Structure 1
Amino acid sequence: MDAAEDLDTLGEKLYTLIYPKHKENAGKLTGMLLELPGPVLTQMVQDKATLTAGVEKALRALQLAQEPSKVPRKDDDDVSVSSDSLGEQLFELVDVYNTGHSQKITGMLLEQHQEVVLNLLSDPKLLEEQVKSAMKTLKELSLEETDISDASDADDTEKLGEKIFSLVEELDPLHANDITGMLLEMEPAALQQLLSDPTMLEVAVQKAQAALDTPNQTLCTAQEEQSNILHTD
């Protein structure tokens, strides 16, 4: 309810600011701007330059929607409508929504059949639905990429752990688990160096053994000592 009241308040403020210069279209322009996120609307109310930019974008979108004769049609003499021209017009309309992903969304919409794209240029409601759908898709893709990245990092660490353990086990079978755990606190780059340099690995294992043999030394201190192994040379 508070959110609805806030939106109504913002709408009234926007209308008051827009009306003096755009009396005829003040209602429509305000309605179009109210589709934008709340923080953007607040900024428009507070910042004249932001409001002017938003109103100009909305005006261009409104003009294109009201003058379908300017929108190329499939049965025009130019059967192959320039994709650049369509892209520019579509971008202007998509950019009104201030999603922060205007180029990506425009590219996604342009992948559809030309007839569908032409419909988007002349039907603001349809365009709004597809922009929201495209934003949802982009968010889902972003989440998937994050999940894949996290899984990949986990896999890499696990593989490094297995390799380190197999080498440490040859040097100290009794404490292989503890020593491997300590070494895995080091940076991945340092671990790679241990894997490629047997001497360095042996020194690291010896330091870990010394840490384990010292009753009063905590595991944390031992791990800190291990992280400095590469700097002893």
Structure 2
Amino acid sequence: MGSNSRCCKPCIGDRISGLPDAILSHILSFLTTEDAVKTSVLSHRWFDVWTSVPKINLTLGSQAAFEPFAQFVDCVLFFRGSSNIHTFQLRCSVIEEDFCRIDPWIYTAVRRNVVEFEFNLDVDVDSKSHRYEGYELPRRLLMCNTLEVLKLTLNHKDIIINPPSDCFPSLKFLHVTLQYPGGRSLEKLLTCCPVLEDLIIEGHLKDDSVVNINVSARKLKRLRMRLSMDLVRWDEGDYKMLE
């Protein structure tokens, strides 16, 4: 038979593993950090690819144990070494005694020149003492020169913000999700964002809550608000600041 009738043998080579580290790292950035770490067992080629992923995405649900999660985060940050962290996303359910474990994680992100930081802290109500004051965002984060994007979920007294006058020197995009009431922390946050250009405020409020939002940002170009209540929903607004 002629050569044209021969069956072509399928190519079974591992083309993905042959890609450059930069491309593999980009692919893994679409996964959670937990799933990215799991790829280290695929082969020797994949052993440490996850350590160069510029995005860390860490989530702990309310039903999961905090200590194994904390140990995992410690290991992830340790084995990454000195590589930069472009995006750091942390969502976790904790008790008040766990606050001391969170500070070192944020400090590491700041030292690694974090550009985007997302933080959602859910504190177990039953763990709050009679002297409960909430978790205060570290001053190192507020003063971070590389931080340009900040996404925060402000729960009732769970996150405290005491910004100095010269905080967030490079912050251009702020996305705040309010969970009743949260307004006081937001008001403090908006007092010192000198180069803020884009602001999103959204969330769910109780029908008897009152939130006063005073936005003072000289370089603000765009403001978007989307707030809902138990009985009334505010229409979404998309406003563009005039020169």
- TM-score normalised by the chain length of structure 1: 0.23
Structure in which a larger fraction of residues adopt strand: 2
Structure in which a larger fraction of residues adopt helix: 1
Q: Which has the larger radius of gyration?
A: 1
- TM-score normalised by the chain length of structure 2: 0.22
